[in-house]
Amino acid sequence: MRFADKVVIVTGAGSGNGRSIAMKFAEEGAKVVAADLNLAGAEETVALIGKGKEALALKSDVTLKSDVEHMVAQTIETYGTLDVLVNNAGIVAFTEFLELSEEEWDKVHNVNLKAPFLCSQAAAKRMIASGTKGRIINITSVEAHRIVSSSGHCQPHYNSSKGGLNLLTKAVALELAPYGITVNSVAPGVVETPFTAGGLQNPEVREWVLGRIPAGRIASPGDIANAVLFLATPESEYITGSTVFVDGGWTIH
């Protein structure tokens, strides 16, 4: 039980990677706040965590400062402290550059970049006030480092939002290091989630993806969760401002 009595917030915990991360922390004894815009999804995650473990489902729009502050305040009110924040909430869209609207650009950046800023700031203030040597872990993407496309088109709003999150990780890590708070990111490759299921069911797409993964398989949400948990352990306390790639070797190319 590596995280007994630790309190963890996971955003976007209503499905996919976020659900797996929340469940892994709970299995290791943490008290988990599963936050999601989709409250039903967050409640399902809490139900899957099961009886005998402490978990709280919260509806939160992490692009809104008021919602973020309420999420952190409710966590402190319920569990008394905050040790780990996982900024997992994110969206992706596939509109080509020449067709991309300002509204879609703003939506992707608000969720993928503004939200981690708001959540990290609110969490860090609480950690500093309580003297907690906390952990902030951002979920980025291999697409923050290289363009991944089977069609020749990129996702400029998604790529730039995740690239910005990488630099936000480094900047916040530098500022929070004197407080003993580490800030790192995990960059998944292609992961088997409900979101990717439609595309990966296409044999040509699946073959194209597998052909670029030296490990020979597509990641599971558990692979991402394992990396996140490592970055929250005491053994990782000397790692900050770094990105852990969980992509089966995709970025080796």
pLDDT tens digit string along 43-96? 999 999 988 899 999 999 999 999 999 999 999 999 999 999 999 999 988 888
pLDDT in the model for residue 76? 98
Is 188 a domain residue? Answer: yes
Is 128 a domain residue? Answer: yes
Percentage of the chain beyond pLDDT 70 is 97
Residue whose C-alpha is closest to residue 231's, from 73, 68, 56, 21: 21
The residues near 138 (Cβ < 8 Å, ≥ 6 apart) are 87, 116, 120, 165, 168, 169, 183, 184, 185, 186
Tell me the three-class secondary structure of 139-204, residue by residue.
ECCHHHCCCCCCCCCCCHHHHHHHHHHHHHHHHHHHHHHHHCCEEEEEEECCECCHHHHHHHCCHH
Q: Which amino acid makes up residue 29?
A: G
Burial code (b: 16+ CB inside 10 Å, e: under 16) for 200-216 equals beeeebeeebeebbeee
The yes-or-no answer on residue 79 being catalytic is no
- 166 neighbors 243 (Cβ within 8 angstroms): yes
pLDDT in the model for residue 75? 98
Is 230 a domain residue? Answer: yes
CA distances from residue 116 to 44, 121, 164, 202, 217 in whole angstroms, order as listed = 23, 8, 11, 33, 30
CATH number at residue 164: 3.40.50.720
Domain assignment of residue 182, given as a range? 7-248
Is 70 a domain residue? Answer: yes
- What is the tally of structural domains in the chain? 1
pLDDT in the model for residue 79? 98
Strand partners, 11: 35
- Dihedral, CA atoms, 197, 199, 200, 201, nearest 10 degrees? 80
Is 15 a domain residue? Answer: yes
Is 2 a domain residue? Answer: no
Is 253 a domain residue? Answer: no
pTM, rounded to two decimals: 0.95
Could you report the per-residue pLDDT of 183-203, keeping only the tens digit for each?
999 999 999 887 777 778 888
Is 14 a domain residue? Answer: yes
